[in-house]
Amino acid sequence: MQYTTTPYQQKQFINEEGLCVTPLTSHLNNAMLLESYRAMVMIRTFDQRVVALQRTGQMGTYASCLGQEAIGAGIGLALGAEDVFLPYYRDQATQYLRGVPLEQQMQYWGGNEWGNHFTGVAAQDFPNCVPIATQVTHAAGVASAIKIRGEKRCALVTCGDGATSRGDFYEAMNLAGVWQLPMIMVVNNNQWAISVPRQIQTGATTIAQKAVAAGIEGFQVDGNDVCAVYDAVHYAVKKAHCGKGSTLIEAVSYRLGDHTTADDATRYRSHEEVNEAWKREPIKRLQTCLHQKGLWSENQEQALLSECKQEVEQSVQAYLKHEEQPVSDLFDYLFEETPSHLVTQKEHVLKKWSMLGGK
């Protein structure tokens, strides 16, 4: 069982012009294409609305997933209900497809940790991870437990290209290789680790080839092509379920927005580079493909846009009705017995908060 013989050649099914350049396999059927498109449009609508909320002071700092929709949708559709997902902070589409409501995602980005209290399929998933690459070591732990129990499941973890420079990434990948863990690492290579470009983060020609050192399979796919992402994850999941070990998937994309709403990418990126990247963006590409296959029309497009806008707006109104969480939550729930120095800090913060008129 092997996906490709080289980690250097990027796999693609639908090119930048929306043309099928590789025959679609049986699992890349019309239903999958249409479901992918709906999820991607929904998440872009959500993303734009959340950024607007942040700009008007109604949301905390937010990490936009603009341009990353194909990666999230491909993972969300290919990952099984029995598998464990360990996200980083740009996985809104995957979480949506695993049943995490948009309102709950807004709760998280609004500073309410109940947004990480998942139910349904996602109940076994991990919360959003903000520290860089620590979630990869968590995934190795989860995959170890799955293997020890002899379960037919896997752990899939995501991270950005910058995370692959961290020790946590290499340590977890080495463990995945030597123990043949049912673990999948999907690297969202969006070319920028905040303001640091991909070419000065690592000397490796591709991130996928880092898998070679760990003795696991690694390959690169076009991260703006939802079919390429879905196909790769589908393969890796089946492989993990069969006890054939780990896979590293490098999904090459581009971060079309700022790193977060606290960032200003115009300080370090040229307009020409961003404009060129827009020509490869994932949603327009899939839309063109659907039109060419006779699966989509302008009427369907308008109906979908209206549906997405309505669902997102209902979620926004529900989110805005949530009460602010008590400031004491910053200190509670971390330890079974709160250490004395944190008790002192808590008393100080609550007193100051009260003086400022907080409740």
The catalytic residue positions are: 255, 259, 268
Burial of 100: CB neighbours in 10 Å, binned 0-12, 13-18, 19+: buried
CA distances (Å), 291 to each of 19, 37, 67, 279, 298, in order?
10, 12, 20, 18, 9
- Which residues make Cβ contacts (< 8 Å) with residue 194, sequence separation at least 6? 162, 259, 263
Least Cα distance to 153 among 183, 122, 187, 119 occurs for 183
- Which residues make Cβ contacts (< 8 Å) with residue 31, sequence separation at least 6? none
Q: How far apart are CA 191 and CA 202, in angstroms?
A: 11
CA distances (Å), 230 to each of 41, 202, 237, 300, in order?
17, 26, 10, 24
Q: Which 3 state secondary structure label does DSSP give 248?
A: strand
Start-end of H helices in the chain:
30-55, 69-78, 92-97, 102-109, 134-149, 167-178, 210-214, 226-241, 271-278, 282-292, 298-320, 340-355
Q: How far apart are CA 128 and CA 125, in angstroms?
A: 9
What are the two backbone dihedrals, phi and then psi, of residue 156, each rounded to the nearest 5 degrees?
Answer: -115, 125
Q: Which two tokens stand for residue 2?
A: 């092997």
Q: Looking up tokens 């249409």, which residue turns up?
A: 34
